Amino acid sequence: MSILSVENLGKSFGGIRANHDISFTVDQGEILGIIGPNGAGKSTLFDLITGYTRADTGKVTFDGNDITRLRPDKISNLAIGRTFQKLKPFADLTLLENVMIGAFAKETDIKAARDKALEIIDFVDLIEKRHHFARELSTGQRKRLELARAMAIEPKLLLMDEVTGGVDQKTIPGLVELILKMKASGVTIATIEHNINIIMEISDNILALDQGQNIAYGKPKDIQNNEQVIDAYLGRVDVA
Ligand SMILES: Nc1ncnc2c1ncn2[C@@H]1O[C@H](COP(=O)(O)OP(=O)(O)OP(=O)(O)O)[C@@H](O)[C@H]1O
Ligand SMILES: [Mg+2]
C-alpha cells in the first residue's frame, strides 16, 4: 500500500525546470532510492514534498491527505521527517539539546522530551557523545545527529538527502547499517544517494532523475540496466 503518492509535480526557477512532471509512489515500509547527476532536481523534489518550496503543478498525497500546499510545520506534524544535504545543527548546543528541539515537536514536557531524545541518541549509537557540542562532532557523527533530529518527530516517512555524502569511506558502512535499522523499526524511507553501490544494496525501488525529469523508476536490477540511466548517470560516474 502506498504511503506517498506524487503526481505530475513541477517547479521552475526562472528558466530552469528543476522538476518537470514527476510521478511516483512510495509503499509503506520500503526504501525508495533517488539518484541523478548534480542539479537533476533531487533536493528540489524533497523541498516540494515537505512544503519548503511551493509546487507550480501537481499533487502530493501522504497517508490519504493532500499535502500539496501545506506549510512545512503542518507537513512535519503529519509525520514526514527530513534531513538536509547541508547539515544545520545548532553548533553551540549539545547533541542532546539538538535532538530535544526535534522532540519538542511531539512532547511539551521537558523531561519527556529529554527521555525521548536520549532514547533516539542511543538508537543512532551516539549516547557517549550526548553532552558534546554539535561543533565538536565529526561529519559522520553530525550525520547521525541529523538523523536523530529527524527521528525525534516520530516520522512515518523519512526523506534523507545524501546521508553518506561528504563522509570518509570507513564511516559509510555504519551509516548504511543505521538506515537499514531505521527501516527495520518501521519507518518508510526515501533517500537521495550518489553512491550507486549503496543505492543498489538498500533500495526496494529506485527513481532516477535527470534535468528535472523522471527518466526511470523501478527495481534496482532494472535501473542498473536502463540505457537512459547509464547515459545520464552511471556512465558519468564511471568516467569520473
Ligand atoms: N531556490 C532556488 N532558486 C533557483 N534555482 C534553484 C533553487 N533550488 C534549486 N535550483 C536549481 O534547480 C536545479 C535543481 O537543483 P537541486 O538542488 O534540486 O538538484 P540536486 O539534484 O539536488 O543536485 P545535487 O546533486 O548537486 O545536490 C538546479 O539547476 C538548481 O540550480
Ligand atoms: Mg541536492
Ligand nearest to the CA of 232: 1
Lowest mean pLDDT among 12-21, 134-143, 230-239: 230-239
Domain formed by 2-89+155-239, architecture: 3-Layer(aba) Sandwich (3.40)
Q: Which residues are near ligand 1 (CB < 6 Å)?
A: 13, 16, 18, 36, 38-44, 85
Task: Give the residue extent of every domain in the chain.
Answer: 2-89+155-239
Residue 85 has pLDDT above 60, yes or no: yes
- What's the chain's average pLDDT? 95
Tell me how far the alpha carbon of residue 46 lies from the centroid of ligand 2, in angstroms. 9
Q: Which of 9, 19, 34, 42 to mutate to test the pocket of ligand 1 (most atoms within 8 A of CB)?
A: 42
Rounded to an integer, the average pLDDT of 90-101 is 97
User: For residue 56, what pLDDT is reported?
Assistant: 97
Q: List the residue whose alpha carbon is closest to atom 18 of ligand 1.
A: 41
Using CA atoms in the order 171, 175, 176, 178, what is the torsion angle rounded to 10 degrees? 150
User: For residue 239, what pLDDT is reported?
Assistant: 47
Whole-angstrom distance, CA of residue 150 vs CA of residue 74: 15
User: For residue 106, what pLDDT is reported?
Assistant: 87
Q: Which pTM was predicted? A: 0.94
Rounded to an integer, the average pLDDT of 7-32 is 97
Ligand nearest to the CA of 160: 2
User: For residue 240, what pLDDT is reported?
Assistant: 45
**Residue 38 confidence class, pLDDT cut points 50, 70, 90:** very high
Whole-angstrom distance, CA of residue 62 vs CA of residue 205: 18
Element (H, E) at 18: strand 16-27
Tell me how far the alpha carbon of residue 41 lies from the centroid of ligand 2, in angstroms. 7
Residue 175 has pLDDT above 90, yes or no: yes
Tally Cβ neighbours within 10 Å of residue 46: 22
- In the chain, the percentage of residues whose pLDDT exceeds 70 is 97
